[in-house]
């Protein structure tokens, strides 16, 4: 119920945010994203392929991403780029994240609840 030795439960929504953010800088493919996320968060966040691919598909279906297939060395890679809708979505995500962050951070530090 509490003891899941994998990623913590604050993770919800974070994969989507991270993926959009990384793709904003440059075109990438799924397998590459998996490693890029580990690298950019210095292993603090480690998403498996079973997380990344479904998010990618969902985002594309929602029109936030566009994909193109590109054969490289016989293997086929699916590269993703962020659409304008995706940029907007990323902006909203970052905004919400920041707000929530301030609120929770304040609660952790501030503690004191001044009753009416």
Partner DNA sequence: TGCCATACATCGTAGTTCGAGGTAATATGC
Partner DNA sequence: GCATATTACCTCGAACTACGATGTATGGCA
Segment interacting with a second copy, rule: CB under 8 A, options 48-56, 65-73, 76-84, 88-96: 88-96
Q: Strands 28-29 and 75-82, how do they pair?
A: antiparallel
The residue from 58, 92, 104, 107 that contacts DNA (CB under 7 A) is 58
72 binds, among DNA, a second copy, none (CB under 5 to 8 A by kind): DNA
Binding mask 19-58 for a second copy (x = CB under 8 A): --xx-xx----------x--xxxx-xx------------x
Give the per-residue SS3 of the chain: CCCCCCCCHHHCCHHHHHHHHHHHHCCEEHHHHHHHHHHHCCCCCCCCHHHHHHHHHHHHHCCCEEEEEEEECCEEEEEEEECHHHHHHHHHHHHHHHHHHHHHHHHHHHCCCCCC
Asked if 72 is part of the footprint of a second copy (rule: CB under 8 A), the reply reads no
Asked if 113 is part of the footprint of DNA (rule: CB under 7 A), the reply reads no
Least spacing, CB of residue 10 vs a second copy, in Å: 5
Residues engaged in binding DNA (CB under 7 A): 1-2, 4, 6-7, 9, 11-16, 29-32, 47-51, 53-58, 72-78
């Amino acid at each position: 119920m509490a003891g899941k030795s994998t990623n913590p439960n604050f993770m919800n929504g974070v994969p989507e945010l991270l993926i959009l953010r990384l793709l904003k800088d440059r075109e990438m493919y799924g397998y590459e994203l998996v490693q890029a996320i580990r690298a950019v968060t210095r292993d603090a966040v480690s998403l498996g392929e079973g997380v990344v691919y479904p998010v990618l598909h969902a985002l594309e279906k929602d029109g936030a991403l566009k994909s193109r297939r590109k054969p490289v060395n016989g293997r086929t890679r699916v590269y993703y780029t962020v659409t304008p809708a995706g940029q907007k979505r990323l902006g909203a995500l970052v905004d919400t994240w920041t707000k929530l962050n301030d609120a929770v951070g304040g609660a952790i530090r501030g503690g004191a609840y001044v009753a009416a």
